[in-house]
Structure 1
Amino acid sequence: MTSSDFKLGITKTFPCNYLPQKEERLLIAVDERLHNSKSYAWLMTQGFRRSGDQAYRPHCEHCNACQSLRVIASEFSPSKSQRRNLKRNQQLTLKTSNTLKSEYYPLFEEYINTCHQDGTMYPATYSQFESFLSSSLTQQLFIEIWQQTEDGNSLLVSVAVTDVLSNALSAVYTFYSPSLRNKGIGVYSILMQIKECQKLHKEYLYLGYQIDDCKKMNYKNRYFPFEKFINGHWYRTDNVKNKNE
């Protein structure tokens, strides 16, 4: 398949959400033949992502800062700092679900309203929670992280919304308790998604768009080895110089 075989739409330009003084526009997979799990998996290999049931890819005239990145999970080995993160959070418990539960919403609301007050999703709403995170395009996996409280109960502290593809998982969105931010819960959630890839014998974990000049979007290139989608091709990067960091 090639993108020229399908009907694609292009949005109007609008202010970029990530880089000041920049404008962005998106390529949208509007062709109904692309609205299924097999085609969605193919779209991911072409640098697309999804929001709800809409698959898109940046299509900016004068900028290519957004580069799709996927971790080669089958070869991943944690760095020294990532091993410290795993040890620091070893008391946490992992569970998985195939359903977007209403019980997730209070954690989602707390995360958005605390950590992303400058974002387009603030303030959080339940309808936004459902439309953004659920999808009929493919099977979903919700990776839950639980913390035991002093009274012996378990508290949900993170949910990684993950799409299941034929040979990969795709990290759609992760929300977590802001109180655990200083313990690297975001990093831990990614490490758990990689672990799930390995458990399910998936080759890749798609992490979305790496944007080097955006503080909120430049953390994805720390999980080696990885591949970036640049000008229609995937290019591999191994951690040679900083393998012990």
Structure 2
Amino acid sequence: MSVNLLKGLYCGLTKPFPCAYLPEKNEQLLVVTQSPMDAERYEMLLSMGFRRNGSDVYRPYCHQCQACESVRVDVEQFMPGRRQRRVLKKNTDLTVRIEHQFQPHHFDLYCRYINARHHDGGMFPPSESQLTHFAKASWLPMTLICLYKGKRLLACAITDETPVAYSALYTFFDPDEDKRSLGTLGVLTQLEAAKSRGKKWLYLGYQIDACQKMNYKTQYLPFERYCDGAWQRFTEGAS
């Protein structure tokens, strides 16, 4: 099946396969098959609920299920809640560095993270080639927002940059540093970096209400959800 969503943009529909987030369901993906892709085009697709995996750009297209809804945070309007302020306060000893290439210590941390936190998931067993294939797009420079304690890498947020947005692709962190709440800190650090770069949005991927591990995305206010082809704004939620 081929779908023409916009001028010069064609998509194909995958066959159904088991959903990674709702085990009782199957999913299908709408995948961009023909389009000259660059940061500007990708930004337009982000605003239509798309994401990427490597160089492939996709969005869920499930006839019987609309559970996956893209979420984006208003960078300029975001104000950290009480818990988020506590996370920032207890991590003032960390240093933020913006990097653009994977090094051996990035791969080491990634493997430790997957082995400790996601040994039952689709990214297990972890490998350098797997991370590289997932993180890099041929048409977009890679940005790594990294958190260091001295010379030791504690967290790495793979982040896409487009003209008016950041898109959080994947974050991995030291599984032995639970008290630091590094997952939350990763999002907060991306929001700070996006604001410093004058971005309007931070895209956080898909919110799935029935999947507990995805529900953190609505803790960053105000945010918008892409529902029925339009963005809906939310100013209240867990924080």
Normalising to structure 2: TM-score of the pair?
0.94
Give the counterpart of 2:204 among 188, 203, 207.
207
**1:21 aligns to 2:45 (yes or no):** no
Residues 8-66 of structure 1 show CA distances to partners (whole Å, capped at 9, x for unaligned) of 00000011100121110000011132x22221111101100001100000000110110
Instruction: State the partner residue of 1:44.
Output: 46
* Partner amino acid, structure 1, of 2:32: A
The question of 1:160 aligning with 2:163 is answered no
CA distance in 2, matches of 1:220, 1:237: 12
* 1:103 shift after superposition: 3.1
2-structure distance, mates of 1:38, 1:31: 16
Is the aligned partner of 1:77 residue 2:79? Answer: yes
Q: Is the 8 A contact 2:54 2:133 kept in 1?
A: yes
1:125-140 aligned at under 5 Å gives the runs 125-140=127-142
SS state at 2:168 partner: strand
For 1:219, what is the secondary structure of its paired residue? helix
* Mapped contact 2:105–2:153 kept (Cα < 8 A): no
Number of residue equivalences: 235
1:197 aligned to which of 194, 214, 218: 194
Find the aligned partners of 2:81 and 2:167 in 1 and give their Cα distance: 21
Identity among equivalent positions (%) equals 38
Which residue in the other structure is 2:124 paired with?
Answer: 122
How far apart, CA to CA, are the structure 1 residues paired with 2:129 and 2:19? 24
Correspondence for 2:64 among 51, 62, 70: 62
| Alignment match of 1:229 (pick from 213, 226, 230) | 226
CA RMSD of aligned residues (A): 1.4
- In 2, Cα distance between the equivalents of 1:72 and 1:3? 26
Counterpart residue identity of residue 128, structure 1? Q
Instruction: Using the TM superposition, give the Cα deviation of residue 182 of structure 1 relative to its aligned residue in structure 2, in angstroms.
Output: 3.4
Moved more, 114-123 or 178-187: 178-187
Q: What does residue 114 of structure 2 align with?
A: 112
Q: What TM-score do the two structures reach when normalised by structure 1?
A: 0.92
| Gapped regions of structure 1 (runs ≥ 5) | 149-153
18-27 or 131-140, larger mean C-alpha shift: 131-140
Tell me if structure 2 keeps the 8 A contact 1:40–1:138. no
CA contact (8 A) 1:100 1:134 kept: no
Give the whole-Å Cα distance in 1 for the aligned partners of 2:204 and 2:154: 20
| AA aligned opposite 1:21 | E
For 2:139 and 2:212, the matched residues in 1 are separated by 30
Displaced runs of 4+ in structure 1, greater than 4 A? none
More deviation in 191-200 or 214-223? 214-223
Q: Which amino acid aligns with 1:131?
A: H
> Greater share of helix residues, 1 or 2?
1
Are 1:32 and 2:35 counterparts? Answer: yes
Provide the rounded CA distance (Å) in 2 between the counterparts of 1:25 and 1:16: 8
User: What's the counterpart of residue 151 of structure 1?
Assistant: none
Residue type matched to 1:174 in 2? T
